[in-house]
Each structure stands twice: as C-alpha cells, then as structure tokens.
Amino acid sequence: MTTEAIQNKKSNPSMTQNLVLIALVIGLAIYPLLTVKDAEFGGADGEAETVITEIDADYQPWFSPLLEPKSGEIESLLFALQAALGAGVIGYGLGWMKGRKREEEAAIDDFH
C-alpha cells in the first residue's frame, strides 16, 4: 500500500460526515420520544378517519381490508417489514446501477 493510500484511509471526510449524519438521524428519532410526554404516536389512518367522520358523519368506506391484523403490534410489525423490504429493493437497485456504472468505466479504461 502506498503512503498516499494510507493517508487517504486515515483522513476520510466522507466517513466522518456519514457518522455525523447517522447520529443526527438517530437524535431526530429519539428526541420526540424523550420530550413529548403523554403523547399518542398514532398513524395517519386514525387521524384521517377522525377528520372524515367530522366532515361527513354518514361516510361509508369504499372497501374493507382483506386481512385485519389482530393487534396494533402485528400491524406495526407488518408496516416495518414492508418498509424494510422497500429499503432493500431500493438499496439493491442503487447498488446494481453503481456496479454497472463501474463496469462500464472499467471497460472504457481497458479500451483506451
């Protein structure tokens, strides 16, 4: 390994920046849990239902769910699973595109 490569590994500003950004995201997620007392962290579905019934008390939904989770914990688990799968698909797609770009750049470099 060359001296330049060792110096680049030691002072990697993007790694520091990533760690700071991760710490900020974690802080933003924890802050409301610590500061807001006696709050209900409900979903948008419940809020929307409340607003709709205030506007029109006779409102009837167009359809009902095919599968109704037995508890709120199961519903949260399914939502988290859906979010994780979506993040995995997006991450895989971005990694695939970046890999394809590297292969193209390597092919161009080999050509020249």
Q: What is the pLDDT of residue 95?
A: 94
Q: What is the pLDDT of residue 48?
A: 86
The pLDDT mean for the chain works out to: 83
Q: Measured between alpha carbons, how far is residue 48 from residues 43, 73, 102 in Å?
A: 9, 20, 46
pTM: 0.47
Q: What is the pLDDT of residue 88?
A: 94
CA-to-CA distance for 108 and 99, rounded, in angstroms? 14
CA 88 to centroid of chain Cα atoms:
10
pLDDT tens-digit profile of 48-69? Answer: 888 998 999 888 888 887 888 7
